[in-house]
Amino acid sequence: MRDVVEQAMRGDREAFGWLVNQTSDRMYAVATRILRDTHLAEDALQSALVTAWRQLPTLRDPDRFEAWVRKLVVHACYAEARRRTSWAANVRALPIDGPTGPDDILGVSDRDALDRAFRRLNVEQRAVFVLHHHLGLPLVEIAETLGIPAGTARSRLHYATRTLRAAIEADAAPVVREGRMA
């Protein structure tokens, strides 16, 4: 891949197109998980990859291309999540009834509880949680990707995990809950 990255760094759009095809699914998966919104994730992916093309000549180490793009995607997710306002079409919605997971692991109530709790996390905490649990990145690499100290990455992951875990456990408790969405 290094050679193709170097070609793209010299302005070869076909080489960059190849890189887009190689990485876009993985980056989109990260963005949808952080943002929990396919429309925002599409915007984040598009913004990050066009920025990657523009800034590619400034990439210092071609072997770090994917990590560099991942960083751009996470930052694009920050920007999307922090948009005070955004375009939104009602047809675009979370695939709540979309792909089904293994129900023996994840019940519907767990799913709802996680959805609600995840919305309460800030986008920085979401990013660390997704990079750790979805991509399996160690904290050191997460910290490097996000440009934050490892201790900060650890505390964000700790807070996110505690929040989501508490949500599942609270949901499992035999209490009467109101059904109104926040």
Smallest distance, other proteins to C-beta of residue 176, A: 20
| Tokens read off for 87 | 């375009």
Q: Based on CB atoms, which residue is closest to other proteins, 24 or 155?
A: 24
Q: Based on CB atoms, which residue is closest to other proteins, 83 or 151?
A: 83
Smallest distance, other proteins to C-beta of residue 165, A: 5
Smallest distance, other proteins to C-beta of residue 151, A: 20
| Tokens read off for 118 | 């995840």
Smallest distance, other proteins to C-beta of residue 154, A: 15
d(CA 99, CA 111): 12
Q: Based on CB atoms, which residue is closest to other proteins, 84 or 176?
A: 84
CB within 8 Å of 138: residues ≥ 6 apart: none
**CA distances from residue 70 to 36, 38, 178 in whole angstroms, order as listed:** 17, 17, 39
Q: Based on CB atoms, which residue is closest to other proteins, 17 or 151?
A: 17
Cβ-contact 134, 106 below 8 angstroms: no
Cβ count near 81 (within 10 Å) = 19
Residue that the structure tokens 């995990």 belong to: 161
Q: Based on CB atoms, which residue is closest to other proteins, 56 or 143?
A: 56
23 sits in which H/E element: helix 13-35
Smallest distance, other proteins to C-beta of residue 140, A: 19
